[in-house]
Structure 1
Amino acid sequence: MISSKIIELKTNSEFLKAYPIIKQLRPHLNENSYIELILAAQVEDNYKMFALVEEDILVAVIGFKPMITLSTGRYIWICDLVTDSKQRSKGYGEKLLTYVEEWGKEKEFNCVSLSSGIQRIDAHRFYEDKMNYKKVNFVFKKIL
Protein backbone atom coordinates (compact mmCIF):
# COMPACT_ATOMS: atom_id res chain seq x y z
CA MET A 1 0.00 0.00 0.00
CA ILE A 2 1.33 3.44 -0.96
CA SER A 3 1.79 5.80 1.95
CA SER A 4 0.85 9.41 1.21
CA LYS A 5 0.61 12.44 3.45
CA ILE A 6 0.20 16.19 3.17
CA ILE A 7 2.58 18.28 5.23
CA GLU A 8 3.00 22.00 5.79
CA LEU A 9 6.41 23.26 4.75
CA LYS A 10 7.76 25.73 7.32
CA THR A 11 11.55 25.79 7.24
CA ASN A 12 14.08 26.86 4.63
CA SER A 13 15.29 23.27 4.26
CA GLU A 14 11.70 22.08 3.65
CA PHE A 15 11.16 24.87 1.10
CA LEU A 16 14.37 23.86 -0.67
CA LYS A 17 13.11 20.28 -0.99
CA ALA A 18 10.09 21.68 -2.84
CA TYR A 19 12.16 23.97 -5.07
CA PRO A 20 12.74 21.48 -7.95
CA ILE A 21 8.97 21.06 -8.26
CA ILE A 22 8.13 24.76 -7.88
CA LYS A 23 10.83 25.53 -10.47
CA GLN A 24 8.73 23.61 -13.02
CA LEU A 25 5.94 26.18 -12.55
CA ARG A 26 8.11 29.21 -11.76
CA PRO A 27 11.25 28.80 -13.93
CA HIS A 28 12.27 32.44 -13.41
CA LEU A 29 13.12 31.79 -9.74
CA ASN A 30 16.53 30.76 -8.49
CA GLU A 31 16.88 29.19 -5.04
CA ASN A 32 17.74 32.49 -3.35
CA SER A 33 14.88 34.51 -4.84
CA TYR A 34 12.50 31.61 -4.16
CA ILE A 35 13.37 31.51 -0.44
CA GLU A 36 13.34 35.31 -0.15
CA LEU A 37 9.87 35.53 -1.71
CA ILE A 38 8.43 32.76 0.47
CA LEU A 39 9.76 34.35 3.66
CA ALA A 40 8.45 37.79 2.69
CA ALA A 41 5.06 36.37 1.66
CA GLN A 42 4.78 34.50 4.98
CA VAL A 43 5.39 37.67 6.97
CA GLU A 44 3.41 40.10 4.81
CA ASP A 45 0.59 37.89 3.47
CA ASN A 46 0.39 34.81 5.72
CA TYR A 47 1.47 32.65 2.74
CA LYS A 48 1.33 28.92 3.40
CA MET A 49 2.93 26.05 1.51
CA PHE A 50 1.96 22.39 1.70
CA ALA A 51 3.40 19.35 -0.05
CA LEU A 52 2.06 15.93 -0.93
CA VAL A 53 4.57 13.23 -0.07
CA GLU A 54 4.26 9.71 -1.56
CA GLU A 55 6.51 7.02 -0.12
CA ASP A 56 8.82 9.72 1.31
CA ILE A 57 9.08 11.49 -2.07
CA LEU A 58 7.72 15.01 -2.45
CA VAL A 59 5.49 14.87 -5.56
CA ALA A 60 3.31 18.01 -5.53
CA VAL A 61 3.22 21.44 -3.90
CA ILE A 62 0.55 24.06 -3.23
CA GLY A 63 1.01 27.58 -1.93
CA PHE A 64 -1.84 29.86 -0.90
CA LYS A 65 -2.86 32.97 1.01
CA PRO A 66 -5.91 33.43 3.21
CA MET A 67 -7.40 36.74 2.09
CA ILE A 68 -10.21 39.17 2.76
CA THR A 69 -11.58 41.60 0.17
CA LEU A 70 -14.77 43.61 -0.09
CA SER A 71 -15.74 41.82 -3.30
CA THR A 72 -15.30 38.25 -2.05
CA GLY A 73 -15.12 38.40 1.73
CA ARG A 74 -12.96 35.72 3.38
CA TYR A 75 -11.36 33.44 0.78
CA ILE A 76 -8.28 31.42 -0.12
CA TRP A 77 -6.12 32.55 -3.04
CA ILE A 78 -4.10 29.73 -4.60
CA CYS A 79 -0.76 31.19 -5.65
CA ASP A 80 1.04 28.02 -6.73
CA LEU A 81 -0.09 24.48 -7.52
CA VAL A 82 2.23 22.09 -9.30
CA THR A 83 2.81 18.36 -9.52
CA ASP A 84 6.22 17.04 -10.51
CA SER A 85 6.14 16.50 -14.29
CA LYS A 86 7.09 12.83 -13.79
CA GLN A 87 4.17 12.31 -11.39
CA ARG A 88 1.24 13.95 -13.19
CA SER A 89 -2.22 12.42 -13.74
CA LYS A 90 -2.10 10.46 -10.47
CA GLY A 91 -4.57 12.66 -8.56
CA TYR A 92 -1.97 14.57 -6.55
CA GLY A 93 -3.16 18.04 -7.59
CA GLU A 94 -6.72 17.05 -6.74
CA LYS A 95 -5.64 15.85 -3.30
CA LEU A 96 -3.79 19.08 -2.52
CA LEU A 97 -6.56 21.34 -3.79
CA THR A 98 -9.17 19.37 -1.84
CA TYR A 99 -6.98 19.62 1.25
CA VAL A 100 -6.85 23.42 0.94
CA GLU A 101 -10.62 23.57 0.36
CA GLU A 102 -11.16 21.63 3.60
CA TRP A 103 -8.60 23.80 5.41
CA GLY A 104 -10.55 26.85 4.27
CA LYS A 105 -13.91 25.44 5.36
CA GLU A 106 -12.55 24.64 8.83
CA LYS A 107 -11.35 28.24 9.18
CA GLU A 108 -14.63 29.70 7.84
CA PHE A 109 -13.44 30.96 4.46
CA ASN A 110 -16.19 31.08 1.85
CA CYS A 111 -14.39 30.13 -1.37
CA VAL A 112 -11.13 29.28 -3.11
CA SER A 113 -9.90 31.31 -6.08
CA LEU A 114 -6.93 31.08 -8.42
CA SER A 115 -5.64 32.33 -11.72
CA SER A 116 -4.11 30.17 -14.41
CA GLY A 117 -2.02 31.27 -17.37
CA ILE A 118 -4.02 31.43 -20.59
CA GLN A 119 -1.65 28.90 -22.19
CA ARG A 120 -2.33 26.21 -19.54
CA ILE A 121 -5.18 24.44 -21.30
CA ASP A 122 -4.70 21.14 -19.44
CA ALA A 123 -4.77 22.96 -16.10
CA HIS A 124 -8.01 24.72 -17.11
CA ARG A 125 -9.64 21.37 -17.92
CA PHE A 126 -8.50 20.06 -14.54
CA TYR A 127 -9.95 23.04 -12.63
CA GLU A 128 -13.23 23.12 -14.55
CA ASP A 129 -13.97 19.46 -15.30
CA LYS A 130 -12.42 17.65 -12.36
CA MET A 131 -12.52 20.21 -9.54
CA ASN A 132 -15.73 22.10 -10.52
CA TYR A 133 -14.18 25.57 -10.55
CA LYS A 134 -15.89 28.23 -12.68
CA LYS A 135 -14.35 30.96 -14.83
CA VAL A 136 -15.61 34.16 -13.24
CA ASN A 137 -13.31 36.97 -14.39
CA PHE A 138 -10.14 37.96 -16.18
CA VAL A 139 -6.87 38.89 -14.49
CA PHE A 140 -5.05 41.87 -15.97
CA LYS A 141 -1.40 42.66 -15.40
CA LYS A 142 0.86 45.66 -15.97
CA ILE A 143 4.59 45.47 -15.34
CA LEU A 144 5.87 48.45 -13.34
Structure 2
Amino acid sequence: MNIIYRKAELNDIPKLNPLLAQLSDAMADPQKMAEKIEKIAKNEDNYLLVAENTENGDLCGSLIGVVFEDICDTCKPILLVENVVTDEKYRGKGIGRGMFEAIETWGREKECHYCILVSGLQRTGAHKFYDAIGYSEVKGFKKYL
Protein backbone atom coordinates (compact mmCIF):
# COMPACT_ATOMS: atom_id res chain seq x y z
CA MET A 1 0.00 0.00 0.00
CA ASN A 2 1.40 3.38 -1.02
CA ILE A 3 -0.15 6.36 0.80
CA ILE A 4 0.44 10.00 -0.04
CA TYR A 5 -0.69 12.95 2.07
CA ARG A 6 -1.73 16.02 0.12
CA LYS A 7 -4.11 18.97 -0.03
CA ALA A 8 -7.65 18.11 -1.04
CA GLU A 9 -8.81 19.14 -4.50
CA LEU A 10 -12.25 19.73 -5.99
CA ASN A 11 -12.11 16.43 -7.87
CA ASP A 12 -11.82 14.64 -4.49
CA ILE A 13 -15.41 15.52 -3.54
CA PRO A 14 -17.05 12.27 -4.79
CA LYS A 15 -14.70 10.24 -2.55
CA LEU A 16 -14.28 12.76 0.26
CA ASN A 17 -18.01 13.20 0.90
CA PRO A 18 -18.73 9.55 1.84
CA LEU A 19 -15.49 9.43 3.84
CA LEU A 20 -16.57 12.40 5.95
CA ALA A 21 -20.03 10.83 6.32
CA GLN A 22 -18.32 8.11 8.40
CA LEU A 23 -17.63 10.90 10.88
CA SER A 24 -20.90 12.83 10.73
CA ASP A 25 -23.41 10.19 9.55
CA ALA A 26 -24.56 12.54 6.77
CA MET A 27 -23.44 13.45 3.28
CA ALA A 28 -22.75 17.12 2.56
CA ASP A 29 -24.09 19.08 -0.38
CA PRO A 30 -21.36 18.67 -3.06
CA GLN A 31 -21.78 22.26 -4.26
CA LYS A 32 -21.29 23.61 -0.73
CA MET A 33 -18.27 21.33 -0.32
CA ALA A 34 -16.79 22.74 -3.53
CA GLU A 35 -17.29 26.31 -2.31
CA LYS A 36 -15.64 25.50 1.03
CA ILE A 37 -12.71 23.62 -0.54
CA GLU A 38 -12.04 26.60 -2.81
CA LYS A 39 -12.23 28.97 0.16
CA ILE A 40 -9.91 26.77 2.25
CA ALA A 41 -7.41 26.54 -0.63
CA LYS A 42 -7.20 30.34 -0.82
CA ASN A 43 -6.42 30.73 2.90
CA GLU A 44 -2.78 30.01 3.72
CA ASP A 45 -3.74 29.30 7.35
CA ASN A 46 -6.06 26.42 6.41
CA TYR A 47 -5.04 22.97 5.21
CA LEU A 48 -7.57 20.34 4.13
CA LEU A 49 -5.48 17.18 4.07
CA VAL A 50 -6.36 13.86 2.47
CA ALA A 51 -4.57 10.53 2.59
CA GLU A 52 -4.71 8.79 -0.78
CA ASN A 53 -3.88 5.19 -1.60
CA THR A 54 -2.11 5.64 -4.94
CA GLU A 55 -2.48 1.95 -5.79
CA ASN A 56 -6.28 2.15 -6.10
CA GLY A 57 -7.15 5.86 -5.77
CA ASP A 58 -9.00 5.43 -2.46
CA LEU A 59 -9.14 8.36 -0.07
CA CYS A 60 -8.18 6.64 3.18
CA GLY A 61 -8.47 9.60 5.54
CA SER A 62 -8.85 13.31 5.94
CA LEU A 63 -8.51 16.13 8.44
CA ILE A 64 -8.43 19.90 8.42
CA GLY A 65 -5.83 22.06 10.10
CA VAL A 66 -6.47 25.70 10.93
CA VAL A 67 -3.78 28.03 12.26
CA PHE A 68 -4.95 30.92 14.40
CA GLU A 69 -3.07 33.67 16.17
CA ASP A 70 -2.55 33.79 19.93
CA ILE A 71 -1.63 36.84 22.00
CA CYS A 72 -0.79 34.96 25.19
CA ASP A 73 2.62 33.90 26.53
CA THR A 74 4.90 33.39 23.50
CA CYS A 75 2.36 34.93 21.09
CA LYS A 76 2.91 32.00 18.74
CA PRO A 77 0.01 30.70 16.65
CA ILE A 78 -1.92 27.55 17.54
CA LEU A 79 -2.87 24.69 15.22
CA LEU A 80 -6.45 23.42 15.52
CA VAL A 81 -7.21 20.04 13.96
CA GLU A 82 -10.81 19.09 13.13
CA ASN A 83 -12.86 16.56 11.16
CA VAL A 84 -10.35 13.76 11.64
CA VAL A 85 -11.46 10.57 9.92
CA THR A 86 -9.76 7.41 8.71
CA ASP A 87 -11.82 5.13 6.49
CA GLU A 88 -13.07 2.15 8.48
CA LYS A 89 -11.31 -0.33 6.20
CA TYR A 90 -7.97 1.47 6.60
CA ARG A 91 -7.94 1.87 10.39
CA GLY A 92 -4.98 0.40 12.23
CA LYS A 93 -2.70 0.73 9.18
CA GLY A 94 -0.84 3.92 10.14
CA ILE A 95 -2.97 6.30 8.05
CA GLY A 96 -4.04 8.44 11.01
CA ARG A 97 -0.50 8.65 12.32
CA GLY A 98 0.69 9.70 8.86
CA MET A 99 -1.98 12.40 8.61
CA PHE A 100 -0.99 13.82 11.99
CA GLU A 101 2.71 13.74 11.10
CA ALA A 102 1.89 15.70 7.92
CA ILE A 103 -0.33 18.30 9.59
CA GLU A 104 2.04 18.73 12.55
CA THR A 105 4.93 19.31 10.11
CA TRP A 106 2.83 22.01 8.46
CA GLY A 107 2.05 23.47 11.90
CA ARG A 108 5.75 23.60 12.76
CA GLU A 109 6.42 25.36 9.43
CA LYS A 110 3.80 27.92 10.50
CA GLU A 111 5.67 28.23 13.85
CA CYS A 112 2.73 26.97 15.92
CA HIS A 113 3.27 26.60 19.66
CA TYR A 114 1.01 23.53 19.97
CA CYS A 115 -1.84 21.59 18.38
CA ILE A 116 -5.32 21.14 19.83
CA LEU A 117 -8.29 19.04 18.83
CA VAL A 118 -11.69 18.09 20.19
CA SER A 119 -13.07 14.57 20.10
CA GLY A 120 -16.55 13.40 21.06
CA LEU A 121 -16.86 11.54 24.36
CA GLN A 122 -18.16 8.42 22.61
CA ARG A 123 -15.10 8.13 20.33
CA THR A 124 -13.06 6.08 22.79
CA GLY A 125 -11.05 4.34 20.06
CA ALA A 126 -9.99 7.72 18.70
CA HIS A 127 -9.01 8.82 22.21
CA LYS A 128 -6.65 5.83 22.53
CA PHE A 129 -5.15 6.75 19.17
CA TYR A 130 -4.61 10.40 20.16
CA ASP A 131 -2.95 9.26 23.38
CA ALA A 132 -0.70 6.88 21.42
CA ILE A 133 0.55 9.68 19.16
CA GLY A 134 1.42 11.95 22.06
CA TYR A 135 -1.67 14.03 22.76
CA SER A 136 -2.61 14.79 26.36
CA GLU A 137 -6.21 14.61 27.45
CA VAL A 138 -7.54 17.94 28.73
CA LYS A 139 -11.07 19.04 29.40
CA GLY A 140 -12.78 21.04 26.68
CA PHE A 141 -16.19 22.49 26.04
CA LYS A 142 -18.29 22.87 22.90
CA LYS A 143 -21.40 24.90 22.13
CA TYR A 144 -23.30 24.84 18.86
CA LEU A 145 -24.07 28.29 17.48
Determine if the TM-score, normalized by the shorter chain, exceeds 0.5. Answer: yes
Q: Is the 8 A contact 1:41 1:47 kept in 2?
A: no
TM-score relative to the length of structure 1: 0.82
Distance verdict in 2 for CA 1:38–1:125, change over 3 Å: same
What is the CA–CA distance in structure 2 between the aligned matches of 1:82 and 1:100, rounded to whole Å?
A: 14
Q: Is the 8 A contact 1:47 1:65 kept in 2?
A: yes
Deviations 1:23-64 (A, max 9, x none): 110224423475167348626894321111122321111112
Q: How many residues of Structure 1 are paired with residues of Structure 2 in the alignment?
A: 140
The residue that corresponds to 1:105 in the other structure is 108
The residue that corresponds to 1:60 in the other structure is 61
Amino acid at match of 1:18: L
Residues 21-100 of structure 1: pairs in structure 2 closer than 5 A = 21-32=19-30, 35=33, 38-39=36-37, 42=40, 46-54=45-53, 55=55, 56-71=57-72, 73-100=76-103
Q: Is the 8 A contact 2:67 2:79 kept in 1?
A: yes
Which structure is higher in strand share? 1
Q: Which blocks of at least 5 consecutive residues in structure 2 are unaligned? A: none
Residues 37-46 or 54-63, more deviating: 37-46
TM-score relative to the length of structure 2: 0.82
Amino acid at match of 1:85: E
Question: Percent of counterpart pairs with the same letter?
Answer: 24
Deviations 1:92-133 (A, max 9, x none): 0010011111111122111111000011111111101x1110
Q: Is the 8 A contact 2:13 2:34 kept in 1?
A: no
What is the CA–CA distance in structure 2 between the aligned matches of 1:69 and 1:108, rounded to whole Å?
A: 12
Two-structure CA RMSD over aligned residues (Å): 2.4
